[in-house]
């Protein structure tokens, strides 16, 4: 097992998330959606988790008998290749399913569509993908811009240099995929946003309610895309 980048000093923080991590409620909801998606796949399908980090899903679903492997720039293990997925080295039309959660925003703008095109190249026609990205135009960001002229970034520019509104991701994705469905996670109404920052582990249940009732994707901090590569 080899670690570099943030994993060298933060450790396996996705495997053992801290209770005071402000992103915790969103992370748990995202992982629940990813598991539901994987549960709908068959165990003989070839699955790649791109930018998988410590491989939470890779390890979990490998143990359940799935043909899943991971690729990450800063991590390697038995089923995770340490490599930049922009040059994955995988063959054309070699995967049935691709997952990429909360990774594309870490790329610079010019590399983002390269990543999406690479996923489309690897997937078989009719193959499926689950991609999640933060939405720079979430509700709190819109409110802030209206009153102050400043957007509320989804993280610092050093971590998310490719921070974009969801609409820009939609345009890129449509060049290579058919969007089956888009789900929003964490509508950033001011009250719940404050509580999420100061007591994330205590508002997990509240996030579940907000996501069910008010999870309009354009208002939400995170957008989850269910995609299909066209057959022709």
Decide if 68 contacts 58 (C-beta within 8 A). yes
Q: Is residue 189's pLDDT more than 90?
A: yes
* Sequence-separated (6 or more) residues with CB below 8 Å from residue 67: 43, 44, 45, 46, 47
Go through the domains of the chain in sequence order and give each one's CATH number: 2-228 (3.40.50.150)
What value does the mean pLDDT take over residues 122-146? 97
pLDDT tens profile 44-90: 999 999 999 999 999 999 999 999 999 999 999 999 999 999 999 99
Which of 3-17, 93-107, 110-124, 181-195 is least confident? Answer: 3-17
Sort strands 75-76 and 80-82 into parallel, antiparallel or unpaired. unpaired
pLDDT tens profile 138-161: 999 999 999 999 999 999 999 999
The predicted pLDDT at position 16 comes to 82
Q: Is residue 33's pLDDT more than 90?
A: yes
């Amino acid at each position: 097992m080899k670690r570099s980048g943030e994993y060298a000093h933060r450790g396996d923080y996705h495997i053992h998330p801290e209770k005071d991590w402000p992103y915790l409620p969103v992370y748990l909801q995202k992982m629940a959606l990813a598991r539901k998606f994987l549960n709908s796949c068959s165990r003989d399908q070839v699955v790649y988790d791109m930018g998988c980090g410590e491989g939470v899903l890779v390890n979990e679903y490998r143990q359940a008998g799935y043909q899943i492997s991971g690729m990450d720039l800063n991590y390697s293990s038995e089923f995770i290749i340490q490599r930049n997925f922009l040059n994955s080295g995988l063959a054309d039309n070699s995967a049935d399913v691709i997952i990429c959660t909360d990774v594309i925003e870490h790329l610079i703008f010019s590399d983002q569509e390269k990543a999406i095109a690479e996923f489309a190249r690897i997937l078989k026609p009719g193959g499926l993908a689950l991609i999640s990205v933060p939405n720079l135009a979430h509700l709190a960001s819109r409110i802030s811009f209206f009153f102050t002229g400043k957007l509320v970034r989804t993280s610092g520019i050093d971590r998310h240099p490719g921070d974009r509104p969801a609409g820009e991701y939609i345009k890129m994705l449509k060049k290579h995929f058919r969007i089956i469905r888009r789900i929003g996670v964490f509508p950033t109404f001011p009250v719940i946003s404050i509580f999420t920052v100061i007591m994330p582990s205590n508002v997990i249940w509240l996030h579940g309610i907000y996501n069910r009732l008010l999870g309009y994707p354009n208002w939400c901090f995170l957008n989850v895309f269910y995609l299909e590569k066209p057959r022709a």
